[in-house]
Amino acid sequence: MVTKRLPLMDCLSRWQELPSREAHGFFAPGRANLLGAHMDYNGGAVMPVALSKGTYAVAGLRDDGLLHLESAQFPGEVLELPLSELRPQREPGAWSAYVEGGLWTAMERWGPLPGLDLILHADLPMAKGLSSSASVECLAVQVVARLLGLDPDTDLMIHLAHAAETKYVGVRCGILDQTAIFLGRADTVLHFDCLELTREHVPLDRREARIAIMDTGVARELASSAFNQRVSECTRALVLLQEHLPGITCLRDVTLEDLERLERFLPPVLQNRARHVVEEFARTDFGADALRLGNVADFGACMTRAHESLRNLFEVSTPELDALVQAATEVDGCYGGRLTGAGFGGCVAAIVHPEAATAFEQHVIAQYAEATGRQTEVQWFDPAGGPRELELP
């Protein structure tokens, strides 16, 4: 498809301004999580899809030990430094930290590259809950593996890309994003149990349901304290519950009955956080069963209930996210919707019968503008494949 090649062509035209070297093309997708919100770091299950949008790159080796890094999203900000100077949190918050982190963890594991030119172009909005950061981490790990001539196990690549985020960038995220990206498969939703590490690709028939992504227009800062604060709150709830349930290792191990019996030992905010996790675990289980049976309506209803819980109990929604979910779920043919990603802004994902697509777009755009005074648009996706090498023209 011509439009999909454009980001790669942009990388290539910038590549031509560099001294000539052998060039390789790469792509890593973004992801949308449909069910299992804030479950990965609580040992729960998640149900994400990889998207057909993500990060494109042209990369090649150089022999002077330098990293030369450019991104179409940050024109004029060319980074050039010795690869040996990459250090965790070298520049916290910088756009390049995610790329550097992926390169750093991969080279710590597999040994250094002799030097690297890397030119990026993402067609995924950044800081919008679609994992633009994990997409570049996964891409960077894939680039190092390929240029060293390795063909590593996918689990190792997931682990290295995840370490880029936790060790290099310093966000205490779980393994959802990197797993969703590396295990992306067309026309399926991944059901991944983050404790048991079991995976299953559950079909989502595009004749029955397509994924609509709507941007609130409000960006969020994942590295900001809010995400790490939720992780700390869940850890505190776990520690308090462990005094009464010594056998549990994560919040996912707590049953609803135990929580109802013991929640008086938790401060009210922690009661809410724990209740979200316990109920979301059951909801994801139920949603996965529904989808296995081809029951998209029940799966979608779980998404909408998940959003309510994220709003009321986990408190990571915003008025704009709520307005989009409200508008989306008012349309006949929309099965359900919720904020995707960590929350605090960003995008909503909804699943919609294809025949309702036009009515859905019209209603959501108009209602969102009326409720918030902001503009949105609807982008349509079907679950797509994971990172891959691209043939260069």
Using DSSP's 3-state secondary structure scheme, residue 192 falls into: strand
Site for ligand GLA in 137-176 (CB under 6 A): 173-174, 176
Segment interacting with ligand GLA, rule: CB under 6 A, options 33-41, 86-94, 150-158, 232-240: 33-41
Q: Decide: is 37 part of the binding site for ligand GLA (CB under 6 A).
A: yes
Segment interacting with ligand GLA, rule: CB under 6 A, options 12-20, 32-40, 203-211, 264-272: 32-40
177 given a catalytic annotation? yes
Q: Decide: is 30 part of the binding site for ligand GLA (CB under 6 A).
A: no
Long-range CB contacts for residues 251-257, cutoff 8 Å, separation at least 24:
251/42, 251/43, 251/44, 251/277, 251/278, 252/39, 252/42, 252/43, 252/44, 252/195, 252/277, 252/278, 252/281, 253/43, 254/278, 256/282
Determine contact, residues 137/101, Cβ cutoff 8 Å: yes
Q: Decide: is 181 part of the binding site for ligand GLA (CB under 6 A).
A: no
Q: How far is the CB of 391 from ligand GLA (least distance, A)?
A: 31
Q: CA of 344: how far to CAs of 21, 219, 224, 311, in Å?
A: 43, 8, 10, 10
Site for ligand GLA in 284-343 (CB under 6 A): 341-342
Q: Decide: is 41 part of the binding site for ligand GLA (CB under 6 A).
A: yes
Number of residues lying near ligand GLA (CB under 6 A): 11
Q: Decide: is 45 part of the binding site for ligand GLA (CB under 6 A).
A: no
- DSSP letter assigned to residue 384: B
Q: Which of 177, 193, 215, 322 is catalytic?
A: 177
Q: Decide: is 346 part of the binding site for ligand GLA (CB under 6 A).
A: no
Residue 350's closest CA among 331, 369, 368?
331
Q: How far is the CB of 2 from ligand GLA (least distance, A)?
A: 31
Beta carbon nearer to ligand GLA, 135 or 188: 135
Q: Decide: is 177 part of the binding site for ligand GLA (CB under 6 A).
A: yes
Beta strands in the chain, from DSSP E residues, in sequence order: 24-35, 45-61, 66-71, 79-82, 116-122, 188-193, 199-203, 210-215, 334-339, 347-352, 378-381, 388-390
Beta strands in 280-346, from DSSP E residues, in sequence order: 334-339
321, with CB counted inside 10 A (0-12, 13-18, 19+), is buried
Determine contact, residues 95/77, Cβ cutoff 8 Å: yes
The enclosing H or E element of 387 equals: none
Q: How far is the CB of 215 from ligand GLA (least distance, A)?
A: 16
Which residue is associated with the tokens 């139920």? 286
Beta carbon nearer to ligand GLA, 118 or 339: 339
Q: How far is the CB of 32 from ligand GLA (least distance, A)?
A: 10
Q: How far apart are CA 311 and CA 301, in angstroms?
A: 16
Print the binding letters for residues 185-214 with ligand GLA: x by CB under 6 A, - otherwise.
Answer: ------------------------------
Q: Decide: is 38 part of the binding site for ligand GLA (CB under 6 A).
A: yes
Q: Decide: is 33 part of the binding site for ligand GLA (CB under 6 A).
A: yes
In sequence order, the β-bridge partners of residue 338 are 349
Candidate residues 40, 193, 233, 263; the one interacting with ligand GLA per rule CB under 6 A = 40
**Interface with ligand GLA by CB under 6 A: which residues?**
33, 37-38, 40-41, 173-174, 176-177, 341-342
Active site residues: 177
